[in-house]
Copies of this chain bind each other. A is one copy, B any other.
């Protein structure tokens, strides 16, 4: 393991179940000698990517919080999306959680969420959480808008074959509805957001309790999401043009 990958391998050790590590544990987990692990940790420490916790244990450092803010402030999708999420939740008329998610490697990453004040449930999705590519309305809405070639690379030819019809239907309908696919008792409804110029494929979704999404309300929510997604695409285009204009 060389270069950046060596550092990232250490950082990827930290997770919710094991949030702190000793250097000896890291060396063990990565099968490198302790002296090497110490050098790596020292470098990460100097950059604020890890920090010392209680004696001899280390945890992720505050640098991520700083970079996350920059992302929040400068990512075109989030700039276009954060107040759209708020208004979607408000206009939904029922307790709801709005999500903005995007493709991230071989997963789908939630990059922004907004929970209505009266929501008594909370979906698995939340800002920063990666989710599987082939499950849930949120992911499927994204997959449906990906070119077949890229899809095959991402999920494999067999998986693609078994989803082909479902994805075609989503593409035709312009939205995807899933009940209990991710969280028992919750329903998700998602619409895709695409911006070629920025290289973005994403989706906007609303999660509500299953029994609240019936008949006329389903139709209303769908219309709400569709127009919100259109608004976001419009904003992305405008933002892109401004950027190009001012930078070139």
Contacts and interface: CB of A to CB of B under 8 A. Distances in A.
A60 interface: yes
Contact of A70 (B7, B74, B128): B128
A125 to B, nearest CB: 11
Q: List the number of copies, as a whole number.
A: 2
A69 B127 contact: yes
A64 B71 contact: yes
A65 B128 contact: yes
A44 B79 CA distance: 23
A64 B54 contact: no
Interface residues of A, number: 54
Contact of A74 (B11, B60, B104): B60
A51 B53 CA distance: 31
A247 to B, nearest CB: 8
A55 B18 CA distance: 39
A46 B75 CA distance: 19
A243 to B, nearest CB: 7
15 contacts: A3-B43, A4-B4, A5-B47, A14-B70, A14-B74, A15-B70, A20-B247, A59-B74, A64-B70, A65-B68, A66-B109, A66-B128, A68-B128, A70-B128, A72-B128
Q: Closest 6 A-B residue pairs measured CB to CB?
A: A69-B128, A68-B68, A19-B74, A64-B67, A4-B43, A65-B128
